[in-house]
Chains A and B, each alone.
Chain A
């Protein structure tokens, strides 16, 4: 296995890459530290999914992308993600590894909000980025892929909302892997200072059906006291991309982090969504939907760890499996000693559309405190023939009846995606994947 995942990129390459981007010294040494760890650390071990044969090696690390002058230049598949009518000014588009478009309302700029690519952020706000980069949410040395991510990080955004700033319009980031072979080692940091609030939505898109690529993504969301972060994402990597995506949140006192993730990749995927409820009264809703098709294998972990008293965590995972796709859904609610009066709830539902599909729901509650409440529900089932009968008895065709039931099944999460254009697009993607 060490051979399989051996780095195609060496120390010189990494140093030069860092120098070319004008990175601060701390980042360069962190990259080299990550690089050294790659050879010694084990691969991540997602529960019940064997990833030893997955492609984590075949990709291109660097590719430029052309900037655009106007949003009209974008191809339709990107344009549909934008709320063009509402002229949302808080938009960031990354094309391969280049910033193609970037705008932030002057009002937010004046308030000190930062919404920029991760490299500019490291140049302009080095200390701030350093304070959060691979610190509280994800560590460099967790496993070989987090180390590799650190060494080869090649894109992403930095979002910073100062104290007491409440942002109404969502911030939207689009990561468009236009090049068919380029890897995404994207790093996203969202920091919400005390009493601040924001909605952030990201889209990942690639087109490589036959070419191999890798996505190794780390997202770190930090919600300080009484901050509120609503995080939406639609991942839409094509079948040629192997995906390892880590989305982590840390919520301090009275803070809320809500996740609504549409995980629509067509390739093999390991997704970890972990939130640490550090502060008293902190809350997280972690909602995810997925549709598996073809031969793809996926492993989803949604985990909420309670440290603070009276903290609340709700996990909701809905998956539809067709063809020979197989997926494991791990839902983990963990209550640490001292987190009294906390509540850990989770629900995992898998709908199977074909005989050869596989779906596994593993609800896990780990509780080290007496004075708490917790619950879980999990089910793996097929479309109920009585529901089909009921709908058809009103004249609705079998095809349409199935469509309604499947969309209905996914609706509780889809409806949580913050931007209407993105939500509609997710519905379209689901439509395309299911039929």
Chain B
């Protein structure tokens, strides 16, 4: 199956009347892994959340298309069913709903009515994915993210990614809070999905993750825009030298997104 294409064109996003994204352009196609880097507060999570349809963010200009379909016209669940997935920087805790029940609802939401996954098959798939991610099976019966450690929440996001198998995955700081072993395991899970039918946008601060998951392209965000793009070598240079040189190169004084221009 050929992959999907997500096109973000001149995206402007406001939160509580403050413009955060000021014209983001980015295209991701199935088979490609893109890394988005950039200093704190430059709009990376805003971009991810706006693509998924976070209720607080208002799109004031620009477009997001998935295989030519207008994503901005879709409800959040429709975006998911169209093939988008967001692993969140801070996943919600939902008491009273077990991780397993939630996962099954999610998987079934991606299937036609009347074609729900059988319980047996679901449990088999979930167990296999949990084994792959070296997760404790008891987690499945615990309430969703409730009392999970930071690292457990991140693994749980990747578990969902593996079970849902979206066309485009957006991973917001999936590496933050992970110890070295967990980082390897999570990377392994993401790499498992790597093929022509899966495109991925990986938001990270660290080259470390990109050593395990080699990106095809690396983008740097500042002031609510993508200010520089390149290959994996760009991430290596950022790791070694930081962001100062880009700011100098582009004449940027304050990189934060929300500042009044």
Beta-carbon contact of A390 and B92 below 8 Å: yes
Beta-carbon contact of A394 and B102 below 8 Å: yes
Per-residue A-contact encoding for B101-126, CB less than 8 Å = 1, 0 else: 11001100110000000000000000
A392/B76 contact (C-beta < 8 A), A397-B109, A400-B105 known: yes
Shortest distance from the beta carbon of A84 to any chain B beta carbon, whole Å: 23
A405 to B97, CA, bound (A): 7
A390/B91 contact (C-beta < 8 A), A395-B106, A395-B110, A397-B109 known: yes
Partner of B81, one of A384, A385, A395: A395
Shortest distance from the beta carbon of A410 to any chain B beta carbon, whole Å: 7
Residues 397 to 419 of chain A near chain B (Cβ within 8 Å): 397-398, 400-401, 404-405, 407-412
Beta-carbon contact of A410 and B85 below 8 Å: no
A406 to B245, CA, bound (A): 51
Determine if B143 is an interface residue (Cβ-Cβ < 8 Å): yes
Q: Considering only CB atoms, which chain A residue lies closest to B83 in the complex? A: A395
Beta-carbon contact of B97 and A408 below 8 Å: yes
Partner of B55, one of A389, A401, A404, A411: A389
Determine if A393 is an interface residue (Cβ-Cβ < 8 Å): yes
Per-residue A-contact encoding for B74-108, CB less than 8 Å = 1, 0 else: 01110111000110100110111100011001100
Residues 363 to 400 of chain A near chain B (Cβ within 8 Å): 384-398, 400
Determine if B164 is an interface residue (Cβ-Cβ < 8 Å): yes
A390 to B105, CA, bound (A): 13
Residues of chain A contacted by B88 (CB below 8 angstroms)? 390, 393
Beta-carbon contact of B164 and A394 below 8 Å: yes
Beta-carbon contact of A387 and B92 below 8 Å: yes
Beta-carbon contact of A404 and B92 below 8 Å: no
Interface centre among B86, B109, B110 (most CB of A within 10 A): B109
Beta-carbon contact of A392 and B92 below 8 Å: no
Shortest distance from the beta carbon of A63 to any chain B beta carbon, whole Å: 40
Beta-carbon contact of A412 and B105 below 8 Å: no
A412 to B97, CA, bound (A): 10
A51 to B243, CA, bound (A): 68
Beta-carbon contact of B105 and A407 below 8 Å: no
A404/B52 contact (C-beta < 8 A), A389-B76, A390-B91, A392-B77 known: no
Beta-carbon contact of B96 and A412 below 8 Å: yes
Per-residue A-contact encoding for B218-234, CB less than 8 Å = 1, 0 else: 00000000000000000
Interface residues of chain B: helix, strand, loop or mixed (majority): mixed
Beta-carbon contact of B80 and A395 below 8 Å: yes
A407 to B105, CA, bound (A): 14
Determine if B137 is an interface residue (Cβ-Cβ < 8 Å): no
Beta-carbon contact of A393 and B75 below 8 Å: no
Interface centre among B91, B96, B110 (most CB of A within 10 A): B96
Residues of chain A contacted by B92 (CB below 8 angstroms)? 384, 386-387, 389-390
Partner of A389, one of B54, B101, B102, B109: B54
Determine if B160 is an interface residue (Cβ-Cβ < 8 Å): yes
Residues of chain B contacted by A409 (CB below 8 angstroms)? 95-96
Residues of chain A contacted by B75 (CB below 8 angstroms)? 392, 398
Residues of chain B contacted by A397 (CB below 8 angstroms)? 77, 109
Residues 166 to 191 of chain A near chain B (Cβ within 8 Å): none
Beta-carbon contact of B94 and A392 below 8 Å: no
Beta-carbon contact of A394 and B95 below 8 Å: no
Interface residues of chain A: helix, strand, loop or mixed (majority): helix
Q: Considering only CB atoms, which chain A residue lies closest to B54 in the complex? A: A389
Beta-carbon contact of A393 and B105 below 8 Å: no
Beta-carbon contact of A404 and B97 below 8 Å: yes
Q: Considering only CB atoms, which chain B residue lies closest to A412 in the complex? A: B96
Beta-carbon contact of A393 and B164 below 8 Å: no
Residues of chain B contacted by A401 (CB below 8 angstroms)? 77
A396 to B75, CA, bound (A): 11
Beta-carbon contact of A407 and B97 below 8 Å: yes
A390/B94 contact (C-beta < 8 A), A385-B55, A397-B109, A408-B143 known: yes
Q: Considering only CB atoms, which chain B residue lies closest to A406 in the complex? A: B96
A83 to B102, CA, bound (A): 28
A394/B80 contact (C-beta < 8 A), A389-B55, A400-B105, A404-B105 known: yes
Beta-carbon contact of B94 and A408 below 8 Å: yes
A397 to B77, CA, bound (A): 6
A408 to B105, CA, bound (A): 14
Shortest distance from the beta carbon of B73 to any chain A beta carbon, whole Å: 15
Beta-carbon contact of B96 and A410 below 8 Å: yes
Residues of chain B contacted by A410 (CB below 8 angstroms)? 96
A401 to B95, CA, bound (A): 13
Partner of B94, one of A385, A391, A398: A391
Residues 165 to 219 of chain B near chain A (Cβ within 8 Å): none
A386 to B250, CA, bound (A): 36
Residues 321 to 335 of chain A near chain B (Cβ within 8 Å): none
Beta-carbon contact of B95 and A398 below 8 Å: no
Partner of B109, one of A388, A395, A405: A395
Shortest distance from the beta carbon of B148 to any chain A beta carbon, whole Å: 13
Residues of chain A contacted by B95 (CB below 8 angstroms)? 408-409, 411-412
Q: Considering only CB atoms, which chain A residue lies closest to B92 in the complex? A: A390
Residues of chain B contacted by A386 (CB below 8 angstroms)? 92
A398 to B52, CA, bound (A): 14
Shortest distance from the beta carbon of A145 to any chain B beta carbon, whole Å: 35
A167 to B53, CA, bound (A): 54
Residues of chain A contacted by B96 (CB below 8 angstroms)? 405, 407-412
Beta-carbon contact of B105 and A396 below 8 Å: yes
Residues 25 to 39 of chain B near chain A (Cβ within 8 Å): none
A387/B109 contact (C-beta < 8 A), A394-B160, A397-B77 known: no
A358 to B148, CA, bound (A): 32
Interface centre among B52, B76, B110 (most CB of A within 10 A): B76
15 contacts between A and B (CB under 8 A): A385-B55, A387-B92, A388-B55, A392-B77, A395-B81, A395-B106, A396-B105, A396-B109, A397-B109, A398-B77, A400-B109, A404-B101, A408-B97, A409-B95, A411-B95
8 A-B pairs closest in CB distance: A408-B96, A395-B109, A411-B96, A394-B106, A395-B80, A392-B76, A408-B97, A390-B92
Please name 7 further chain A to chain B contacts, defined as beta carbons within 8 Å, in addition to the given A400-B109, A404-B94, sorted by A numbering: A391-B94, A393-B88, A398-B75, A404-B97, A404-B101, A405-B97, A412-B95
